[in-house]
């Protein structure tokens, strides 16, 4: 799942080398924290958060296939 989010984020941003993803396990799943360059945050979030929502939807689908819970935070 980490690789999926990283692949999507690197495709969207202008500075793909600045993309960092960390995984933090929780009681009921995992939290992925996405860090990008300051000037790329708008691209990852998108208009009215639609891009971020789409990434979260894809992450949720991948998590269901693995029978875990996952969420995404954009730091």
What global pTM score does this model have? 0.89
Q: What is the pLDDT of residue 28?
A: 86
Pairing of strands 20-26, 29-35: antiparallel
Superfamily for 2-74?
K homology (KH) domain (3.30.300.20)
- Cβ-based neighbours of 54, under 8 Å, separated by 6 or more: 46
Q: What is the pLDDT of residues 9-38, one digit of tens each?
A: 999 999 999 999 999 999 989 999 999 999
Residue spans of the domains in the chain: they are: 2-74
């Amino acid at each position: 799942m980490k690789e999926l989010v990283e692949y999507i984020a690197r495709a969207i941003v202008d500075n793909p080398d600045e993309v960092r993803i960390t995984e933090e396990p929780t009681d009921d799943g995992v939290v992925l924290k996405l860090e990008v360059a300051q000037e790329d945050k708008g691209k990852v979030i998108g208009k009215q958060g639609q891009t971020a929502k789409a990434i979260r939807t894809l992450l949720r689908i991948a998590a269901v296939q693995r029978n875990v819970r996952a969420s995404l935070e954009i730091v």
